């Protein structure tokens, strides 16, 4: 099985913007993943992610997404919706990730499938805490990640 990368991105210093990172923290605390799954906190890295994503056949991104919906709205993007995600610039990190994916194509190591899981942020002000609407979406995001990994035939175990 080829590598699967689960990547949480976001800035934990800007409240809801840290959603992706907070989901990754919970996944790492609660679950164990077998090779070839790697679960990474990408923070606000851009092209630096190239090293970590190279060799991945599948990429699952968790992020705060400004899709214009009410705070706490849940997003799961696949296929053409992923392309629209990059074109519409609905994430503060889409440019860095878009560049990484383009570079991987140039290097002849393209990611075969990208899925994005996100939530509509309520507040992007300085602060470490997620708002209640976004906190409420951590569990659904974790469930979506686990379901996607199992759909990709990855093995996942709860820590116990």
- Residue-wise pLDDT for 121-133, tens only, equals 999 999 999 999 9
Q: Give bridge partners of residue 43 from the DSSP assignment.
A: 9
CA distance 117 to 61: 6
Helix (H, G, I), strand (E, B) or coil at 139: helix
pTM of the model: 0.92
Give pLDDT tens digits for 3-62.
Answer: 999 999 999 999 999 999 999 999 999 999 988 999 999 998 888 889 899 999 999 999
CA distance 93 to 9: 7
CATH number at residue 143: 3.40.50.1450
Binding residues for Ni(2+), by number, are: 17, 63, 93
How many domains are contained in the chain? 1
In this predicted structure, the answer to whether residue 92 has a pLDDT above a threshold of 80 is no
Binding residues, by number, are: 17, 63, 93
Which residue range forms the structural domain that includes residue 9? Answer: 3-158
The DSSP line for 12-51 is: TTBGGGGHHHHHHHHHHHHEEE-TTEEEEEEET-SGGGHH
CA distance 16 to 63: 10
CA distance 58 to 157: 20
């Amino acid at each position: 099985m080829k590598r699967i990368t689960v990547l949480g991105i976001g800035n934990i210093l800007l409240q809801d913007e840290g959603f992706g990172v907070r989901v990754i923290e919970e996944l790492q605390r609660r679950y164990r993943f077998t090779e070839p799954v790697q679960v990474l906190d990408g923070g606000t890295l851009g092209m630096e992610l190239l090293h970590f994503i190279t060799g991945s056949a599948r990429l699952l991104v968790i992020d705060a997404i400004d899709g214009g919906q009410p705070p706490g709205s849940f997003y799961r993007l696949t296929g053409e919706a992923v392309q629209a995600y990059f074109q519409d610039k609905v994430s503060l990190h889409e440019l860095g990730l878009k560049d990484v994916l383009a570079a991987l194509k140039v290097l002849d190591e393209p990611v075969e499938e990208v899925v994005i899981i996100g939530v509509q942020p309520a507040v992007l002000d300085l602060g470490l805490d997620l708002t209640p609407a976004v906190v409420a979406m951590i569990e659904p995001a974790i469930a979506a990640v686990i379901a996607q990994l199992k759909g990709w035939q990855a093995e996942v175990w709860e820590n116990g």
